[in-house]
């Protein structure tokens, strides 16, 4: 009897093994066969078979580097999954991401955040990951209103005290030492600054990382939470399973709990200034919608409002310090412009008395060609979202035809395509010469002597394709917070270069560490430090005019 039972169990096991082996072999054969709709596009065999390989690459945090290597090897169209392509062809960008483009693809199902434990993942809709275009337009409307011209002026008022605060801290660090030279990790201070300002804009000023340090590990928890979704975005079918595993999902759950607590605190506080969620609630036209708006958008506000800006600013500073001639040229432009315009001091708290939104300092910043060239070049080399701009044909559409003068793709329904900014921004067809080098001059209206990258001829001509420059994405699903992000970067970069002479602390720092330790976690994370020696310039005392 026992022997019969053993025989039956063994036979059943063999039958199931044979079934799944044949099934797996059939799937692999089809995915590699000429009859597959993406068969003609080149790519690694392993990626044509399974997305698990992409998840493994993502686990290591080097997806951006891997994707560039693929395009360098295979060309402008690469098959990166059984049903997925990647393209570096700029002519496809409007057709994929633009107003006549496609909805978000399945990658976003693997990235979705649930706001509470009780809320089912499939019932959760956030503007950042919703795939239905009509629903996205509805959810996006309050964001568009909240970042229109008038609300941004309110946020600019919130920015000024934070600029003063970080300048006072860094100035104090310099003057504390007898030689007047301070030694700081600027990546840390920029992250704290951006997180505090994000708290002012979205949550009524509930964070004080610059003053108190990251005692609640806010930055760590945010980074740890994004680690999981950077992997599950490639295998959405396992994301629900992983989210139900407490040990695996612990960081995500902790971050969600943190965000919901801050959202509820913001809802219950008495507001003294008009912030992001005030303007979003006003745009909705429904007073009862305030709490749902705050809670459902809290995570996005934290990540987009702090993580992406701090990463970009840190990268820009890293590039400037790696190219001292560029730093000096920017410093000269800032000095000359501020002295000419009589911009009041921002290195002491009393200077706030002379600030008013009518001063329109951002108009001055936007007219400074080299400052904006530096920021553009930093975002070109290190876009905050380096690889994961994915779209797919709408359900019921049958597919999407993408066509340029020299290339065409028919993407059947059920397939997806990725536009990787990191790859496109370093493509020599669009940015040359030296697409991997930091050359702000490529953004200036006419050729000038280059300050870096070995291009020192005044006759240098640059190929700069602005239609291939997509650090904020493009189209109706681009970054809503772009206007404020640009203002924040202009203010802080100008303030730092006006007030301080900086260089790498080479006694403790290898400059190659910055890029080597950079990780693609959907948004890019700078895992490395940025040790800097800095000296306060004392501009106010010398010129009678002071800093911004």
Question: Which positions make up the binding site for heme?
Answer: 479
- Say if CB 173 and CB 277 are below 8 A apart: no
**Sign of the dihedral defined by the CA atoms of residues 120, 122, 128, 134, in that order:** negative
Q: Residue 119 is inside which H or E element, if any?
A: none
Binding-site entries: 479
Q: Which residues of 234-253 are buried (b: 16+ CB within 10 A; e: fewer)?
A: bbbeebbebbeeeeebebbe
Give the Å distances, CA to CA, from 262 to 152, 257, 267. 22, 9, 9
Q: Which residues of 488-522 are buried (b: 16+ CB within 10 A; e: fewer)?
A: bbbbbbbbbbbbbebebbeeebeeeebeeebbbbb
Cis peptide before 433 (omega within 30 of 0): yes
Instruction: State the first-to-last Cα distance of the chain, in angstroms, to the nearest integer.
Output: 88
Distance CA 10, CA 3 (A): 10
Give the Å distances, CA to CA, from 143 to 85, 147, 294, 304. 30, 6, 12, 12
Nearest to 456 by CA among 330, 368, 335, 326: 326
Distance CA 383, CA 396 (A): 33
**Sign of the dihedral defined by the CA atoms of residues 265, 268, 274, 277, in that order:** positive
Q: Residue 403 is inside which H or E element, if any?
A: strand 399-403
Burial of 281 (0-12, 13-18, 19+ CB in 10 A): buried
Tokens for 392, please give them: 């797919």
């Amino acid at each position: 009897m026992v022997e019969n039972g053993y025989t039956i169990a063994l036979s059943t096991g063999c039958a199931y093994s044979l079934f799944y082996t044949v099934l797996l072999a059939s799937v692999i054969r089809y995915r590699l066969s000429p009859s597959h709709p993406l068969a003609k596009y080149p790519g690694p065999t392993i990626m044509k078979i399974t997305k698990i390989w992409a998840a493994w690459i993502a686990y290591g945090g080097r997806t951006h580097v891997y994707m560039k290597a693929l395009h360098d090897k295979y060309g402008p169209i690469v098959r990166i999954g059984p049903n997925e392509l990647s393209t570096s062809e700029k002519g496809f960008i409007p057709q994929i991401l633009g107003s006549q483009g496609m909805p978000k693809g399945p990658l976003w199902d693997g990235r979705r955040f649930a706001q509470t434990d009780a809320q089912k993942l499939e019932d959760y809709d956030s503007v950042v990951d919703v795939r239905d275009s009509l629903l996205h337009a509805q959810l996006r409307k309050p964001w568009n209103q909240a970042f229109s011209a008038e609300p941004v002026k309110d946020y600019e008022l919130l920015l000024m005290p934070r600029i003063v605060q970080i300048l006072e801290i860094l100035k104090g660090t310099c003057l504390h030492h007898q030689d007047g030279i301070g030694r700081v990790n600027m990546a840390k201070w920029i992250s704290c600054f951006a997180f505090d300002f994000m708290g002012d804009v979205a949550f009524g000023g509930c964070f004080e990382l610059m003053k108190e340090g990251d005692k609640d590990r806010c930055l760590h928890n945010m980074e740890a939470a994004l680690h999981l979704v950077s992997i599950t975005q490639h295998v959405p079918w396992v994301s629900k399973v992983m989210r139900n595993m407490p040990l695996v999902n612990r960081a995500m759950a902790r971050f969600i709990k943190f965000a919901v607590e801050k959202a509820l605190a913001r809802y219950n506080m008495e507001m003294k200034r008009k912030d992001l969620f005030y303007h979003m609630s006003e745009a909705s036209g429904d007073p009862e919608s305030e709490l749902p708006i705050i809670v459902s958008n809290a995570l996005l506000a934290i990540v987009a409002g702090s993580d992406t800006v701090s990463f970009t600013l840190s990268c820009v500073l890293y590039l400037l310090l790696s190219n001292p001639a560029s730093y000096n040229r920017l410093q000269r432009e800032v000095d000359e412009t501020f002295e000419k315009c009589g911009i009041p001091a921002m290195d002491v708290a009393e200077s706030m008395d002379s600030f008013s939104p009518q001063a329109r300092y951002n108009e001055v910043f936007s007219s400074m060609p080299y400052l904006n060239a530096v920021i553009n070049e930093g975002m070109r080399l290190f876009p905050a979202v380096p690889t994961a701009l994915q779209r797919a044909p709408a359900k019921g559409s049958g597919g999407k035809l993408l066509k340029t003068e020299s290339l065409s793709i028919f993407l059947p329904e059920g397939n997806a395509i990725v536009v990787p900014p990191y790859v496109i921004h370093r493509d020599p067809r669009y940015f040359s010469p030296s697409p991997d080098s930091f050359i702000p001059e490529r953004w200036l209206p006419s050729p000038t002597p280059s300050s870096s990258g070995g291009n020192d001829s005044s006759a240098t001509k640059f190929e700069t394709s602005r239609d291939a420059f997509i650090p904020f994405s493009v189209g109706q699903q681009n970054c809503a917070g772009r206007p404020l992000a640009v203002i924040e970067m202009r203010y802080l970069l100008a303030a730092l270069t006006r007030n301080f002479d900086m260089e790498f602390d080479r006694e403790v720092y290898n400059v190659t560490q910055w890029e080597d330790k950079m990780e693609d976690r959907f948004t890019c994370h700078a895992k490395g430090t940025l040790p800097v020696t800095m000296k306060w310039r004392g501009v106010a005392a010398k010129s009678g005019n002071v800093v911004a």
